[in-house]
Amino acid sequence: MFTGLVQAVGGIERRGSGLVVSGCAPFAPLQLGDSVAVDGVCLTVAALVGDGFLANVSEETLQRSTLGRKSTSGGSVNLEPALRLSDRLGGHLVSGHVDSIGEVVGIEALSQSWKLALRWRDAAYGRYICEKASVAVNGISLTVAGSADAGAQFWIAVIPHTWMATALRDLAPGDEVNLEIDLLARYTERLLGHAQEGESTTHGNHSSLSSEWLASHGWS
């Protein structure tokens, strides 16, 4: 589990069937088996290499994220070690499991921030996006400032510290990014869906929430 607060910017390259990640010195020492979020993808330390590590990657990881392409073309990656139970949760709960790839639609430099506009590759994930919702972009915990097209496109206000301390500054329109929705939104949808299916079986069609349903399930 991670917070989405980047602790270092490093590099990545292919080595055989694995990936070598460099630039982990700010949160060293690493140990075998440690988890590190690399551009929002949770990878396991399989071997120590210089100031970084070697990670084995599955076909699922390469297909669902940008790591495969970035490791062959070069570029910077955001790094964060796994969260300790005693750490502050300064961002939001991030699992390191990428939901879908997004595309940078536009970047606008404002007087006190940058406006980063993104679009989901799979527009169905737009239902998890709303104003002030949390979203992880390349492993960075960010807040949605606005959205369009039912959330399929959204934008974020990035403060100067985040812009300069992460690899966001290297992005350009057309680039791909790893996106992960807020865990709370995912599990709430799943649990409420199962609950409503059960209500439909027992008490007839129950297609919407009500104050009575919420009260009966401990929400009030």
Helix (H, G, I), strand (E, B) or coil at 206: coil
Q: Which one is predicted more confidently, 153 or 74?
A: 153
Least reliable range by pLDDT among 73-77, 78-82, 135-139, 160-164: 73-77
Residue 118 lies in a domain: no
Give the Å distances, CA to CA, from 36 to 7, 32, 80, 211: 11, 11, 6, 42
Burial class (CB in 10 A: 0-12, 13-18, 19+), 112: exposed
Of the residues 81, 100, 124, which one is the last residue of a structural domain?
A: 81
Picking from 21, 180, 164, the residue whose alpha carbon sits closest to that of residue 93 is 180
Residue 154 lies in a domain: no
> What single letter denotes the amino acid at residue 188?
T
Residue 46 lies in a domain: yes
Q: Can you tell me the distance from the alpha carbon of 199 to that of 186, in angstroms, rounded to the nearest whole number?
A: 20
180-194 per-position pLDDT tens digit: 999 888 888 888 876
Residue 70: CB atoms within 10 Å? 24
Mark 57-68 as b/e (b = at least 16 C-beta within 10 Å). Answer: beeebeebbbbb
Of the residues 37, 64, 81, which one is the last residue of a structural domain?
A: 81
For the chain, give the mean pLDDT: 91
Q: Provide the number of structural domains found in the chain.
A: 2
Of the residues 65, 81, 97, which one is the last residue of a structural domain?
A: 81
Q: Can you tell me the distance from the alpha carbon of 2 to that of 38, in angstroms, rounded to the nearest whole number?
A: 11
- Specify the pLDDT at position 192: 81
Domain limits at 197? 185-216
- Does residue 160 have a cis peptide bond before it, meaning omega lies within 30 degrees of 0? no
CATH number at residue 49: 2.40.30.20
Residue 42 lies in a domain: yes
Element (H, E) at 199: helix 183-203
- Specify the pLDDT at position 186: 82
The answer to whether the pTM exceeds 0.95 is no
- Specify the pLDDT at position 216: 78
Residue 21 lies in a domain: yes
